[in-house]
Amino acid sequence: MGLFEKRIDRKVAAYQRELTETHYAEVENMYRQIRGWRHDYRNHIQTMKAYAAAGDMDAIRRYLDELDTDLNTVDTVVKTGNPMTDAILNSKLSLAKSRGIATRADARIPVKLGVPELDLCCIIGNLMDNAIEASAELPEEKRLIRVYMDMKGAQLYISVTNFTAGGKLPKLAGRFRSTRGADRGLGLVRVDAIVERLGGYLTRNSEEGAFTTEILLPTDSSSPG
């Protein structure tokens, strides 16, 4: 391995560590919100009992509406069946929504994955980070990220699409160039390396106004869920 390749490997490893630490921080923040809401549960019940004792049904309805809105901000958006996927995907969807980006997610993983959790964390995190940053270039009303995950036979299929500004993205040496700086380029390299190591398949497609990444990862479909 040459000096240049070693430098790239060191940078990729450093970026992976930074990315993972960021993901765990995002997931912890989401769970902290959920724990906070649960902590307040008893107070909410006592408040509604007081309204019920006073016969104030309008107040109860208003309070329930407020609780419903509050719960939607911390409730798990997607339940795939895989805890780590739920954690990282929901944290990224929450981050996208906080930045004014509409999201559409349909994700199901009905089996226990053979894919290492750290690898899956890095793949989903990088794909979502790229989609979020690309979406930020658009007017808020045009921002949209679509995520689809499901089993296709014995393989896990992952698809992430985001709307983009302008036309098709440029390629360099047959690969799409990241327009988000060196770290984003390393993120794409890391995803490619993980998919290759796991014996998977990856394709990226840039059309007018949209960019899609599709991944197939082999997994042990015979494992119990």
Write the DSSP assignment of 8-38 as a string of letters: HHHHHHHHHHHHHHHHHHHHHHHHHHHHHHH
Query: pLDDT, tens digit, for every residue of 62-88?
Result: 888 887 766 655 555 577 777 777 778
The yes-or-no verdict on residue 222 having pLDDT over 90 is no
The yes-or-no verdict on residue 212 having pLDDT over 90 is yes
What confidence score (pLDDT) does residue 34 get? 66
Confidence of residue 225 (pLDDT cuts 50, 70, 90): very low
Domains of the chain and any CATH numbers: 78-218 (3.30.565.10)
Question: Averaged over 148-152, what is the pLDDT?
Answer: 91
> Position 82: which residue type?
N
Question: Averaged over 187-212, what is the pLDDT?
Answer: 88
Distance CA 121, CA 181 (A): 21
Query: pLDDT, tens digit, for every residue of 7-65?
Result: 666 666 666 666 666 666 666 666 666 666 667 777 888 888 998 999 999 998 888 88
What confidence score (pLDDT) does residue 94 get? 83
In sequence order, which residues have a C-beta less than 8 Å from that of residue 23 and are 6 or more positions away?
Answer: 88, 91, 121, 125
What confidence score (pLDDT) does residue 89 get? 85
